[in-house]
Amino acid sequence: MQTEAPRINIDRLVNRIDTLAGIGAVAGGGVCRLALSDEDRKGRDLVARWMRDLGLAVTTDRIGNLVGIRSGSEACPPVLTGSHIDTVATGGRYDGSLGVLAGLEVIATLNEAGITTRKPLGVAFFTNEEGARFAPDMMGSGVHQGFLDLEEMLDIRGIDGRRVGDALAEIGYAGTEPVGSFRADSYLELHVEQGPVLEQEGFTIGAVEGVQGISWTEYRLTGTSNHAGTTPMHLRRDAGYVAAAVAVEARRLSKEMGGSQVATVGLTELKPNLVNVIAAEALLTLDLRNTDEKLLQAAEARLNEAIKRFASEEGVGVSSRRLARFEPVMFAPDMINLVEDTARRLGHSVKRLPSGAGHDAQMFAPNCPTGMIFVPSQGGISHNVAEYTAPEDIRAGADVLLQALLSRAG
Ligand code: HGY
Ligand code: MN
Ligand code: MN
């Protein structure tokens, strides 16, 4: 019988994090592995090899989710962990990758300790969690858990016009495993907080209560290109001006609403995008989030109304397309307690908090007991090449993951 609880090997875990970060590496220590890109393919190949080297039985489903299973003494639904390895274009090396690689580190530690769990354990990574190239985000896990339709997702076109199904086939990860029917005993994901709370308040572990609601909309504004010098201001139909007004109003409204309301105009494209031409067209995206569904709906309605008003005052046409919409999700109380109790048992400070970011875990929450473990992000920075989490915090998070998974898997 194990005398003392096994501990993860932090050097091996950090080494895997750094090795994976070498694929799609960008200046400043960050990573660009947009979903279904060639870098994503290389990252997938590496992690799939590590999964097999650890003796996991690996399957690939029809939207490219990979699940590696370690048998237990009983045949029953697995206790699953994992996250994503796709990144935004200016991503960090921990967002997503930490959860997948910490899951592999748990397997490696159990293999070394010769421990067989009662329930099987699984480590997964899901296709296109970020949604930066192909919206919506959490695409793979949403299909995996039956909330997003496979065929509809395969037909989605990205910001570069590519079709998901074609890009997936091109990187060789259009698997055969069916989707939507996988049932886990439970799901527990380790992820960097990506916000400032744990660091500012001096906590090592976050016991995540849930994920806030997410609303992504694309607006296409159609004005009239004209000469920047000869066109009197009252005769303009300036799509660029309306786009800028939207960003200002989104900021103003969020401040007025307060609470957890946030708003981001992250993508704007002007046509023809020239110094002396009034923009004929503007494409922009609006990312709205709130922990409260009713408030999120209110923010959506008020901003949509404002955009219509700005456009009509400027004589600009407006059309919109929904890119993503997920309601807030609460995690299972017994999983939140498990994270909290395990962290305390291992001597780590722990705080309950909601997640500002979307995560694959939110797709499991309606189907099985689901929880998340957060570790601090230095300076609260993420979706930025400077993203950093200290090794001692990574070790703490991975040890909590190991012990919590052992508690679930018996
Ligand atoms: O947008 C998000 O919250 C996540 O990074 N996909
Ligand atoms: Mn993430
Ligand atoms: Mn992310």
pLDDT over 90 (residue 3) = no
**Radius of gyration, CA atoms only, the chain:** 22
How many Å apart are CA 373 and CA 343, to the nearest integer? 9
Atom of ligand 1 nearest to the CA of 130: 6
Residue length of the chain: 410
Q: Whose CA is nearest to atom 4 of ligand 1?
A: 358
| Other CB atoms within 10 A of residue 359 CB | 26
Q: State whether the beta carbon of 137 lies less than 6 angstroms from ligand 1.
A: yes
Structure tokens at 98: 């930490």
Atom of ligand 1 nearest to the CA of 289: 3
Q: Please answer whether residues 239 and 221 qualify as being in contact, where contact means their C-beta atoms are separated by less than 8 angstroms.
A: yes
Task: Extract long-range pairs of 243-252: CB within 8 Å, 24+ residues apart.
Answer: 243/219, 243/268, 243/270, 243/279, 243/282, 243/284, 245/310, 246/219, 246/284, 246/286, 246/303, 246/306, 246/307, 246/310, 247/284, 249/303, 249/306, 249/307, 249/310, 250/286, 250/288, 250/303
Q: Is the peptide bond before 120 cis (omega within 30 degrees of 0)?
A: no
| Other CB atoms within 10 A of residue 251 CB | 14
pLDDT over 90 (residue 305) = yes
Spell out the domain ranges in the chain: 10-212+328-409, 213-326
Q: State whether the beta carbon of 86 lies less than 6 angstroms from ligand 1.
A: no
Q: Please answer whether residues 75 and 121 qualify as being in contact, where contact means their C-beta atoms are separated by less than 8 angstroms.
A: no
Q: State whether the beta carbon of 131 lies less than 6 angstroms from ligand 1.
A: yes
What is the distance in A from the centroid of ligand 2 to the CA of 230? 48
The correct answer on CATH 3.40.50.300 for the domain covering 10-212+328-409 is no
| Other CB atoms within 10 A of residue 56 CB | 22
In the block, which residue shows the tokens 């190239």? 133
Pocket test residue of 130, 148, 288, 325 for ligand 1, highest count of atoms within 8 A of CB: 130
Q: What is the mean pLDDT of residues 243-253?
A: 98
Q: Cα torsion at 23, 363, 351, 335 (round to 10°)?
A: -120
Give me the pLDDT at residue 4, please. 65
Q: State whether the beta carbon of 129 lies less than 6 angstroms from ligand 1.
A: yes
Q: What percent of the chain has pLDDT over 90?
A: 99
Q: What is the mean pLDDT of residues 227-247?
A: 98
In the block, which residue shows the tokens 């052992």? 406
Q: What is the mean pLDDT of residues 177-197?
A: 98
What is the distance in A from the centroid of ligand 2 to the CA of 211? 12
Q: What percent of the chain has pLDDT over 70?
A: 99
Distance of CA 282 to the CA centre of its chain: 27
Structure tokens at 92: 């960090």
Q: What is the CATH topology of the domain spanning 213-326?
A: Alpha-Beta Plaits (3.30.70)
Q: What is the mean pLDDT of residues 102-123?
A: 98
Q: What is the pLDDT of residues 344-398, one digit of tens each?
A: 999 999 999 999 999 999 999 999 999 999 999 999 999 999 999 999 999 999 9
Give me the pLDDT at residue 383, please. 98
Structure tokens at 201: 């308040």
Give the closest residue to 227 by CA, choosing from 211, 215, 242, 238. 238
**Sorting pLDDT into bands at 50, 70 and 90, what band is 5?**
confident
Structure tokens at 17: 């994090």
Q: State whether the beta carbon of 357 lies less than 6 angstroms from ligand 1.
A: yes
Ligand number nearest CA of 358 is 1
Using DSSP's 3-state secondary structure scheme, residue 325 falls into strand
pLDDT over 90 (residue 174) = yes
How many Å apart are CA 27 and CA 7, to the nearest integer? 33
pLDDT over 50 (residue 1) = no
Q: What is the pLDDT of residues 58-95, one digit of tens each?
A: 999 999 999 999 999 999 999 999 999 999 999 999 99
